[in-house]
Structure 1
């Protein structure tokens, strides 16, 4: 059945009206956008919170009112709908599209692209949303050094912090539009990690994971840790995120039975400090710092700090 122009215009207007209502806290308008039924569903994924499913209009409405998004007029009225596919058949319709947001919130950014899907029903001559789905293209926090790459290392997007870092980085360089580490060993590790991350999204169901790349430095100079992250079809190159590292180190402490002092030493090693810097930070002698490090080596079964970082930061909670 060919799409009816009036129906198409009404559904597109509904997409925009629903978005404007939630970003301006016009909940009376927002409620008019949905089918009020137990089967009304909202599901999605976003980086800060992962996957969620909400079912039943009453639950959707309660959550919208009690814990709303912050008000954002740019997101309400300047967001564009791109790559729309819309099919209409009788009193039902479905659409897939992208919404390109000009502004982020809660300290987060991204390419600003959210992948969306809707199922619509016509009730009393009016189109309503029965199912709302989204996949947020958010790439992390505003303060984080992040590059979005393809499997060959081509730079698709850079965070503001990455732009600043690249201007005088001793580690990373962009050549012919591709990210490279100046250190050959790290650059080979990047190639391998990108190939691994690209494979995560080749099967019918995509996977996710992260691989650390340790850029070694000279004695007394802090090493730096980067992560290649594959998630939701994206490949990100991130400078170590302190919050992520802290969580992983907490798990590693339990796995390997590290004492509080050993955990502190391990955290400072992961931060990239030399043994002398660790001793100074902890107000202990270099010999004591060395003793703690040797005990950590014994417990984890590794023999150098680079291997230790990989072991410690590979510890991930199953939930």
Structure 2
């Protein structure tokens, strides 16, 4: 029992040492944390790059040596390890845990929450524990500029990023009552709860699925359309809104399906991002009449007759299912 406790303490020390070396850019200390073998493996998932697999110490060392992260002492020393499980059998051990970082801007394109699901397989070499396998799943929720709220299936608020916290107290469409997120308009709120139910059921099987559903809210005559996204990623539900950088990407598929020209696609993108028609015309450097002509052609191709329906149709086609 005493030896197990000593081994567990040594493994926890190694987990912290590995992270500290990474975020202080101490490459020599980082190297000492690993088994240097052909079977050493590092894999993971993060939103900006998807799934990756690195096998063999030379491959791992070469890549990290070229691309060490910027120094962040708060990430190095203030990050918490929680929900830790360690199992030890002889000279082999495995650990599963979560690392909760103190910020939400860990890497370019990362907007949080800063919760990383981690796994390590370790071997004892010359009396010291070393990492033979490192795996992680990044809990990143969205794209730069997005306002993000993490939700339970019943709309209970679990986490709010700083960008959303700034605007929620006086928001026109959203309100939090009894720690549950609601839309002020009853009809939109019903659609919101239906979208949450749809998203929750994407993760009720053995294999997790991901998806996004747009909620389009018309603000009023002459005002921009507001777009909200209910998304599920790795079993976690989010509502995203505000200045999203993904409208152009999402609209690309819809533009091809409906045969939109380049100018028509640009106009549709500006409208989906919340610009009024005059503002969209100014952004494109065309007259308002030209923008109206583009919009009329888009209506004819998509079969809708007002901007709210247009945004809903285009974004629904481009959403991940």
Whether these two folds match at TM > 0.5 is yes
How has the CA–CA distance of structure 1 residues 124 and 137 changed in structure 2, closer, same or farther, with 3 Å as cutoff? same
Tell which deviates more after alignment, 59-68 or 141-150: 141-150
1:74-93 → structure 2 map (5 Å cutoff)? 74-93=74-93
- Name the counterpart of 1:7: 7
1:193–1:211 CA contact under 8 A, matched in 2 = yes
Shift of 1:84: 0.7
How has the CA–CA distance of structure 1 residues 252 and 30 changed in structure 2, closer, same or farther, with 3 Å as cutoff? same
CA distance in 1, matches of 2:215, 2:2: 53
CA distance in 2, matches of 1:3, 1:89: 12
- Name the counterpart of 2:270: 268
Deviations along 1:194-247, whole A, 9 cap, x unmatched?
Answer: 101111221111100100001112211112001011001211111155320011
- Name the counterpart of 2:57: 57
- Name the counterpart of 2:194: 192
Normalised by the length of structure 2, the TM-score is 0.91
Shift of 1:276: 5.0
- Name the counterpart of 1:171: 173
Tell which deviates more after alignment, 253-262 or 194-203: 253-262
- Name the counterpart of 1:105: 106
How has the CA–CA distance of structure 1 residues 157 and 227 changed in structure 2, closer, same or farther, with 3 Å as cutoff? same
- Name the counterpart of 1:221: 223
Shift of 1:3: 6.8
Shift of 1:144: 2.2
- Name the counterpart of 1:211: 213
Shift of 1:277: 4.8
1:251–1:317 CA contact under 8 A, matched in 2 = no
Shift of 1:154: 0.5
CA distance in 2, matches of 1:241, 1:165: 12
How has the CA–CA distance of structure 1 residues 192 and 94 changed in structure 2, closer, same or farther, with 3 Å as cutoff? same
1:142–1:161 CA contact under 8 A, matched in 2 = no
Shift of 1:182: 0.7
- Name the counterpart of 1:23: 23
Shift of 1:34: 0.9
Normalised by the length of structure 1, the TM-score is 0.92
SS class of match (1:211): strand
1:3–1:87 CA contact under 8 A, matched in 2 = no
CA distance in 1, matches of 2:73, 2:275: 44
How has the CA–CA distance of structure 1 residues 236 and 265 changed in structure 2, closer, same or farther, with 3 Å as cutoff? same
Shift of 1:317: 8.9
CA distance in 2, matches of 1:56, 1:192: 46
1:210–1:229 CA contact under 8 A, matched in 2 = yes
Tell which deviates more after alignment, 102-111 or 122-131: 102-111
SS class of match (1:25): coil
Tell which deviates more after alignment, 151-160 or 267-276: 267-276
Deviations along 1:279-302, whole A, 9 cap, x unmatched?
Answer: 56554244x433322221222233
Show structure 2 runs of 5+ residues with no match: none
Shift of 1:311: 2.3
- Name the counterpart of 2:120: 118
Deviations along 1:178-201, whole A, 9 cap, x unmatched?
Answer: 111111221111101110111122
Show structure 1 runs of 5+ residues with no match: none
SS class of match (1:117): strand
CA distance in 2, matches of 1:27, 1:20: 10
Shift of 1:309: 0.8
CA distance in 1, matches of 2:151, 2:305: 33
How has the CA–CA distance of structure 1 residues 277 and 6 changed in structure 2, closer, same or farther, with 3 Å as cutoff? closer
2:156–2:180 CA contact under 8 A, matched in 1 = yes
Tell which deviates more after alignment, 250-259 or 118-127: 250-259
- Name the counterpart of 1:284: 287
Shift of 1:267: 2.0
Shift of 1:112: 2.1
